[in-house]
Amino acid sequence: MQIKIKYFDEKLTRINKIVQGDWLDLRAAQTIEMKKDEFKLIPLGVAMEIPEGYEAHIVPRSSTFKNFGIIETNSMGVIDESYKGDNDQWFFPAYALRDTVIEFNDRICQFRIMEKMPTVELIEVDHLGNENRGGLGSTGVK
Ligand SMILES: O=c1ccn([C@H]2C[C@H](O)[C@@H](COP(=O)(O)OP(=O)(O)OP(=O)(O)O)O2)c(=O)[nH]1
């Protein structure tokens, strides 16, 4: 499968190591300084044409909080198939839990493509007709 990618900065390191099944790392396309409790959209310096029927999911790298003290405010970014224009640059919405600096080209997150879910029809009913499973934590901890 091929994905068209446009880079917004010629100095940004290209994504070249593609191993089947591995998520692909993305880099900050600007040096970003953040104060504790600040929110910023970090540009990732790329736009892509995701293949038809797919979307992309972005999550932080596991080491991102340890390295930079930031979390992804939407927990997981969803890149819609339609987000494929020349100016549709991907971004990482970041919240800083301490003063921090993310340098240009730092690898801060990773993505993969996923098949879009099928078209669903929601059918309203009064009863689902199934046993209740029990709520949050009802299966205990052991
Ligand atoms: O972490 C993210 C999340 C989204 N996007 C881009 C791709 C996505 O297709 C677009 C819109 O995202 P979403 O639909 O989640 O945002 P919204 O808040 O619902 O806004 P919109 O009105 O644009 O749909 O923004 C990113 O670059 N990074």
Mind listing the pLDDT tens digit of every residue in the chain (142 residues)? 899 999 999 999 999 877 888 999 999 999 999 999 999 999 999 999 999 999 999 999 999 999 999 999 999 999 999 999 999 999 999 999 999 999 999 999 999 999 999 999 999 999 999 999 999 999 999 9
Tell me, what amino acid is at 39?
F
Q: Residue 27 corresponds to which amino acid?
A: R
Helix (H, G, I), strand (E, B) or coil at 68: helix
Q: Whose CA is nearest to atom 3 of ligand 1?
A: 77
CB of 93 within 6 A of ligand 1: the answer is yes
Do residues 96 and 38 lie in contact, with contact meaning Cβ atoms separated by under 8 Å?
A: yes
Distance from C-alpha of 90 to C-alpha of 71, rounded to nearest angstrom: 16
* Count of alpha carbons within 13 angstroms of residue 22, beta-carbon side: 10
Active-site hit among 37, 80, 99, 106? 80
Is 80 an active-site residue? yes
pTM: 0.94
Asked whether this complex has an ipTM greater than 0.90, the answer is: yes
